[in-house]
Amino acid sequence: MLYINGTIVTMNKKREIVKDGAILVEGSRIRKVGKTTDLVASHPKEPTYDLENKVVIPGLVDTHVHLAQALLRGSGDDCELIQWLCQTVWVLQGQMTAEEAYGSARLCIAEMLKSGTTCFLEAMCADRYGFDGIAKAVEESGIRGCLGKIVMDVGKYASQNAWSMHPGLVETREQSLLGVLEMHDKWHGKADNRIHVWFGARTPPGISVDLLKEMTQLSREHDIRITMHCAEVEADKVHYRENHDMTAGEFCQHVGLLGDKTVLVHMIWLDDPDFKLLAETGTHVSHNPSSNSKLASGVAPIPRLLEAGVNVSLGCDGGPSNNNYDMIMEMKLAALIHKAVSCNPVTMPAETILEMATINGAKAVGLEHEIGSLEANKKADFVVLDFESKLHTTPSPNPISTLVYCATGGEVETVVIDGRLVVERGELLTMDEEEIKREARRHADNLYERAGFRGKPKWPIV
């Protein structure tokens, strides 16, 4: 297929934008990117797909997702993080069935696809969610999914003396660590290599030092990548200092976490030595500004991380902490929040933000040679956006600025993954959207009833 007449934001090394551009796709890969006139002339018999002067970007890469939390959207709003976790989110997740988790995963994936996310990193897939069902949802939808399965052995958070997890989420070493190895053997590389299986470590002390060291050793032996929440709240920093006499970065180095096959999430409460450690080891960081803002966890020092040479990507987090999985909306907050904090309007420009959401994300998940930019021989993962027909994106002299500061996922018109149309003119082609919403409402009602949770407005309903 020859996709013609688009404005192609390539994200190649020169960051070229091709006006009146075209993309030649053969099978699952891009074969050429160039001017429409040139590609049509050199491939006159190729069927064409008219992009109608719309903007084309590489598929967005969300490096921090909780699939099971889509069903929990709107629960626990306006709470601080530890209360939010222990009194609401974990209570609901700890009673979730595999069928409900599958329904939540489909809801989340459908939302991601329709808002331009073509690849994601799931942070912590609990055993009770049913890993097979989660992988099946990825396979059916056509999305590219990196699935982090939980590794843990302690049912605590932030302090050994408080904040216990819901018993329904507590797992043993055998259940979690060995379960990752089993699922890696079963699912890694499946669905035409769209499914990758990761270690998804819980935040210390939810995972012991011994288990962390065992996990990182197995990671090296089996070439399995790792993701972990780290330094998200001040209590994390206190834990590392009081229990280990280390900074967050020093602790991660001590247990073998640092390296180019690890994505550490949030990274708000850092100390001076951490920046150099992260940069020198090639460790990746996932920035989640909406979640961090809503839960008042703090603002991650992203400009300083970037200045140190750390690869920083972008993530939406989950349904109760962000309330959506729209990476385009996440880009705007990532651009604005650091300007406000630093009182510097030129920090974190739109171009930097788009890099975080595309090529930096691809690098974080180890796929920068396959996705993240629109270039010959890379996977045909791209998103078509309609700016011309919307009031809030008109006029659009600079498509990068319009994308980051004006647009939402609602401007996504067409999505291609692995050379396959998965969204066309706003319609999901691989999933039944109405059925997904219907099932999600049913599952949410059942889960909330079983957990005794009643989400309702604080104001009287008359």
Q: Quick: pLDDT tens for 185-198.
A: 999 999 999 999 99
The DSSP bridge partners found for residue 7 are 55
pLDDT in tens, 265-278: 999 999 999 999 99
Give burial (CB, 10 Å; 0-12/13-18/19+) of 458. Answer: exposed
Instruction: Please tell me the predicted confidence (pLDDT) of residue 293.
Output: 96
Phi–psi pair at 124, nearest 5 degrees: -155, 90
- CATH superfamily, domain 60-364, is Metal-dependent hydrolases (3.20.20.140)
pLDDT tops 90 at residue 65: yes
Residue environment code for 29-42, b if the CB has 16+ CB neighbours within 10 A, otherwise e: bbebbbebeebbee
Edge to edge, the sheet with strand 144-151 lists 60-65, 117-125, 144-151, 195-201, 226-230, 262-266, 284-287, 312-314
* Cα–Cα distances in angstroms (integers) from residue 459 to residues 220, 360, 435, 462, in the given order: 53, 43, 32, 10
Domain with CATH 2.30.40.10 in the chain: 2-58+372-428
Residue environment code for 272-297, b if the CB has 16+ CB neighbours within 10 A, otherwise e: eebbebbbebebbbbbbbbbbebbeb
For residue 222, the surrounding DSSP H or E stretch is helix 209-222
**Fold topology of 2-58+372-428:** Urease, subunit C; domain 1 (2.30.40)
CA–CA separation, 33 and 67 (whole Å): 34
For residue 4, the surrounding DSSP H or E stretch is strand 2-9
Average pLDDT taken over every residue of the chain: 96
Domain with CATH 3.20.20.140 in the chain: 60-364
pLDDT tops 90 at residue 261: yes
Beta strands in 36-182 (DSSP E): 48-50, 55-58, 60-65, 117-125, 144-151
pLDDT tops 60 at residue 161: no
pLDDT in tens, 297-337: 999 999 999 999 999 999 999 999 999 999 999 999 999 99
Angle formed by the axes of helices 209-222 and 173-187, nearest 10°: 20
pLDDT in tens, 338-386: 999 999 999 999 999 999 999 999 999 999 999 999 999 999 999 999 9
pLDDT in tens, 403-439: 999 999 999 999 999 999 999 999 999 999 999 999 9
CA–CA separation, 262 and 228 (whole Å): 8
pLDDT in tens, 132-141: 999 999 999 9
Task: Read off the pLDDT band of 163 (50, 70, 90).
Answer: low
* Cα–Cα distances in angstroms (integers) from residue 16 to residues 203, 291, 311, in the given order: 40, 32, 21
pTM (2 d.p.): 0.97
